[in-house]
A and B are shown apart, each in its own frame.
Chain A
């Protein structure tokens, strides 16, 4: 029979046997986080060291055995260095600031409105688009002989032949900035949307509005200060990426001088092997540039936070927000339109047999471009597909292992772990890929499928993890508990409850990972070592060539693969669970 509970006395804490009653296995999964970190942090560490050493003259394979500062002297004397650094900083900061402004102003002005939900559905395809394909499509759209010029000629402009204007590859990097904004704003918007779920934004805004604040001001004063810290790391990742982008810069950026990262790549590729030392120094400079830029951005953050503090409670109510709605809505629509037209331009060029200048559409259509490209398309397509699938599956397995371990061991995710995860996205690729190549050559793995897959894994893994972590952690733990109480062991709970309930986020994370792999340019270049090429390296190579039609075929194929991945990721659960209303998104 039941006794009553005795009230607590402090001394009773030690009374009685202190056996732990709760069974709590972390199991063999305990090794997964360590393995994951080793797999993707060790190469970056090795790569950085392998790049720093030649920067101070040490690279025995090329006869560099004495330490010296010569690489740095060479770097300082390199023609165009100052211009390259200036261009890098301008395009990097400008595109990040614009992308952030666009993403946040759309959230501030449009979040919670029905139009926004329609807009939001367009973000996924935009995000799945590889940088290179978007850049090529944008160049086909904006260049003097591009589609836009053709649409408005000759009736509006009088142009009978392409005008002599630098509309892409302009010396100020404006086309590059535009391309980066198109690609990074959707990413920041999605990260912002995910973060909004955590801070109950809707009720905060509603409360502020009942106090007389206009909708935008309510958002800016109650949501923004809590939202920004949650998207800080993605913003840094965007900044780091914009400062060190190579493929987009080669297609949309100026050539003399290019931004620093493509310039350094040019030196690494120089037939004169002696340039490797200067290139390594340039890679170090790139690293320092990004580190300094992130520090500077952080400083500005703190300054803004301090200066804006009094403003938060100064009482200004703001207006109806119509202007911001108009401006951000127009900019957002223009961005979507530009991306959509770029895709269309790729499709048109890939199907054009003949397309004379002022004609708005090709004069003759043909599948010939595709037919002729099949032989050239197949090997890089197979590489892209196999490397992408392998890297994605490994990343999924590791991410799931880490998340399951975290859950079973009851570990709460920390900010420090998040920084580790972001490392491959914050360190510029050019700053460590050469070092990895040196290492790969030493172990005779350069140009191998394994090395290529591993190099892609470094970048696939963080995105897969980030995409999966939130839904994984949010799954109601009681489903698993009730499964266990119904007699299912951990394996059965995992396969019969966790995986089916999370099937959609798992497949979406896989599609994200696959699209990241497909988009990799620099890792493919370095780890592929010229022996393995992907659709991306081929498309970027062809973009500089004379034949737009072949470039369009490759760029379109590069874009189609990840889109296909997303379609499968959305269609499979929709079909499997068509009779399960509780699981429909």
Chain B
């Protein structure tokens, strides 16, 4: 078992086409701590999260070092980093049932159909969605989808959690409740958590450090 030292970024930079988008950024997120990164859109915040979880588009240039509980993340494929991420869209797989979506994330080490099913059912119950395993994700309400997405991320047993504006598409009432739900789980599991948002209320709700990120350069227009 490695020391639980959390998520460390050391002089990480991010650039595109010779233009620096972000950094150099150095920070440490302790286990159970929620650090917020705030800044204007297009300033590379989401790309930083993609860099940490290993899914960054290769057109970006990067430098610096990232450690998770003392283990360097550099060069590891995303599936071996142990970094969970939640986007503003729930991205539940539309071809799988709710239960299958959650089971997709369960580590292969948990063997046996019944055991896996039980773990999924427990997670759904925890999200107030007991008995939803066979439902089509397209039939869920917005709040249910968001909670199912979080449970899916957590079932993969990540060592760190990245939140890419996961509350921005929810209406005000739902937002507060889901935010508390996410933060409670992140703290309860002792996950170092990095939140990207442009809503000061999100940042205030974390009770943790906030990094105001200035626009370092004119964000280049990305052609889609």
Interface of B is mostly: mixed
Taking the closest CB of chain A, its distance from the CB of B137, in whole angstroms, is 6
Cβ of B91 within 8 Å of any chain A Cβ, yes or no, is: yes
For residue B190, CB closer than 8 A to chain A, the reply is no
Residues A481 and B104 in contact, CB atoms below 8 Å apart: no
Interface residues in B49-71 by Cβ distance below 8 A to A read 50-51, 53-66
| Contact between A500 and B15, CB atoms less than 8 A apart | no
Is B27 a contact of A2 with CB atoms below 8 Å? yes
User: What is the chain B residue whose CB lies nearest that of A492?
Assistant: B79
Tell me if A501 and B94 are in contact (CB < 8 A).
yes
| A-contacting 9-mer, from B115-123, B175-183, B196-204, B209-217 | B209-217
Chain A residues near B146 (CB-CB < 8 A): none
A3 to B35, CA, bound (A): 11
As a 0/1 sequence over residues 7 to 19 of chain A, the CB contacts with chain B under 8 angstroms (1 = contact) are 1100011011111
* B219 contacts partner chain A, Cβ-Cβ < 8 Å: no
Is A22 an interface position by the 8 A CB rule?
Answer: yes
Flag whether A544 is at the interface (Cβ < 8 A): no
Partner of A16, one of B27, B64, B73: B64
Assess the B78–A16 pair: CB atoms within 8 A: no
| A374 on interface, CB distance cutoff 8 Å | no
**Whole-angstrom distance between the alpha carbons of A17 and B30 in the complex?**
24
Given the contacts A22-B62, A476-B91, A583-B95, A486 and B105 also touching, CB distance less than 8 Å: yes
Q: A484-B54, A484-B78 are in contact. Are A19 and B65 (CB under 8 A)?
A: yes
B126 at the interface (CB under 8 A from A): no
User: Which residues of A sit under 8 angstroms from B217, Cβ to Cβ?
Assistant: 8
Residues B138 and A2 in contact, CB atoms below 8 Å apart: no
Min Cβ gap A498→B in Å is 10
Question: Is the beta-carbon distance between B95 and A8 smaller than 8 angstroms?
Answer: no
* B4 CB–A CB distance under 8 Å: no
Q: Which of A144-152, A288-296, A395-403, A573-581 contacts B (4 or more CB under 8 A)?
A: A573-581
What residues on B are CB-neighbors of A8 within 8 Å? 20, 23, 216-217
- Tell me if B125 is interfacial: C-beta within 8 Å of chain A: no
Is A482 within 8 A of B62, CB to CB? no
Q: What's the least CB distance linking A501 to chain B, in Å? A: 6
A501 in complex: contacting residue of B25, B76, B95, CB < 8 Å? B95
Known contacts A484-B54, A485-B55; A2 and B35 CB within 8 A of each other: yes
| Cβ contact within 8 Å between B35 and A5 | no
Contact of A12 among B24, B27, B60, B84 (CB under 8 A): B24
Q: Shortest beta-carbon distance, A112 to chain B, in Å?
A: 23
Asked whether A23 lies within 8 Å of B75 as measured between CB atoms, the reply is yes
The residues of B that contact A476 with a CB separation of less than 8 Å are 91
Q: Which residues of the partner chain B approach A20 to less than 8 Å between Cβ atoms? A: 61-63
Q: Are B211 and A21 in contact (CB under 8 A)?
A: no
Say whether A17 contacts B105, CB under 8 Å.
Answer: no
What's the least CB distance linking A478 to chain B, in Å?
Answer: 6
Cβ-neighbour of A481 out of B26, B78, B95 (below 8 A): B78
Chain B residues, CB < 8 A from A583: 94-95
B186 at the interface (CB under 8 A from A): no
Contact B94 A487 (CB under 8 A): no
Number of residue pairs across A and B with beta carbons under 8 Å? 159
Distance A3 CA – B212 CA, assembled complex (angstroms): 10
Q: Are B107 and A582 in contact (CB under 8 A)?
A: no
> Which residue of A is nearest B11, CB measured?
A16
- Number of A interface residues at 8 Å Cβ cutoff, please give it: 47
Contact B156 A22 (CB under 8 A): no
B165 within 8 A of A: no
Looking at the assembled complex, report how far the CB atom of A525 sits from the nearest CB atom of chain B, in whole angstroms.
Answer: 43
> Any chain B CB within 8 A of the CB of A30?
no
Any B CB within 8 A of the CB of A415: no
Q: When chains A and B are docked, how far (Å) is the Cα of A558 from the Cα of B216?
A: 64
Q: Given known contacts A8-B217, A17-B63, A22-B56, is B89 in contact with A485 (CB within 8 Å)?
A: no
Q: Is B91 in contact with A5, judged by CB distance below 8 angstroms?
A: no
Distance of A204 Cα from B142 Cα, bound (Å): 31
- Count of chain B residues near A, Cβ 8 A: 68
Q: Which residues of A contact B25 (CB under 8 A)?
A: 5
User: In the complex, A500 Cα to B93 Cα: how many Å?
Assistant: 10
Whether B133 sits at the interface, judged by CB under 8 Å, is: no
Beyond A487-B156, A496-B104, whether A19 also contacts B63 by CB under 8 A is: yes
A4 CA to B9 CA, complexed, in Å: 12
Most A CB within 10 A of own CB, among B25, B94, B97, B214: B94
Q: Report if A154 contacts B (CB, 8 A).
A: no
Decide yes or no whether A1 CB sits under 8 A from chain B. yes
**A81 CB-CB contact with B under 8 Å:** no
B152 close to A (CB within 8 Å): yes
* Bound: A18/B23 CA distance, A: 13
Q: Which of B56, B57, B66 has the most CB of A within 10 A?
A: B56
Q: Is A255 an interface residue (CB 8 A)?
A: no
Once bound together, how far apart are the Cα atoms of A582 and B93, in whole Å?
A: 9
Structural contact, A13 and B35, CB atoms closer than 8 A:
no
* Contact A500 B95, beta carbon cutoff 8 Å: yes
Chain B's nearest CB lies how many Å from the CB of A405? 13
Is B191 an interface position by the 8 A CB rule?
A: no
Q: In the complex, are the beta carbons of A7 and B62 less than 8 A apart?
A: no
Assess whether A3 is in contact with B26, with CB atoms less than 8 Å apart.
yes
Residues of B within 8 A of A582 (CB): 94-95, 136-138
A479 interface hit (Cβ, 8 Å): yes
Say yes or no: B156 contacts A486, CB within 8 Å.
Answer: yes
B144 at the interface (CB under 8 A from A): no
Check: A488 CB closer than 8 A to any chain B CB.
yes
A541 to B73, CA, bound (A): 66
* Nearest-Cβ distance from residue A495 to partner chain B, whole angstroms: 12
| Inter-chain contacts of B97 with A (CB < 8 A) | 579
Q: Is the beta-carbon distance between A580 and B24 smaller than 8 angstroms?
A: no
User: Cα distance A577–B137 when bound, in Å?
Assistant: 12
Distance of A464 Cα from B9 Cα, bound (Å): 45
Known: A17-B64, A489-B79, A580-B136. A2 touches B87 (CB 8 A): no
Q: Does B148 belong to the interface (CB within 8 Å)?
A: no
Q: Is B77 an interface residue (CB 8 A)?
A: yes
Say yes or no for A45: interface residue by CB 8 A criterion. no
Which residue on chain A has the smallest CB distance to residue B137? A582
Does A483 belong to the interface (CB within 8 Å)? yes
Are B58's CB and A482's CB within 8 A?
no
CB within 8 Å of A: which of B5-49? 11-13, 15, 20, 22-30, 35
User: A6 vs B216: C-alpha distance in the bound complex, in angstroms?
Assistant: 9
Cα distance, A41 to B8, chains bound together (Å) = 51
Chain B residues with CB under 8 A of A6: 24
Q: Is the CB of B60 within 8 A of A482?
A: no
Which residues of chain A in 173-199 are interfacial with respect to chain B, using CB atoms and an 8 Å cutoff?
Answer: none
- Report if A485-B77 is in contact (Cβ < 8 Å); known contacts: A21-B64, A496-B104, A582-B136: no
Once the chains bind, are B53 and A485 in contact (CB under 8 Å)?
Answer: yes
Please determine whether B77 and A483 come into contact, CB atoms closer than 8 angstroms: no
Apart from A8-B217, A476-B91, A486-B104, what are 14 other A-B pairs with CB-CB below 8 Å?
A1-B27, A2-B29, A3-B27, A5-B24, A16-B13, A17-B65, A20-B62, A21-B12, A21-B63, A486-B84, A489-B77, A496-B104, A501-B94, A582-B136
In the assembled complex, 8 residue pairs joining A and B whose CB atoms fall closer than 8 Å, in A order, are A15-B24, A22-B56, A481-B50, A481-B53, A482-B87, A483-B104, A485-B83, A503-B95
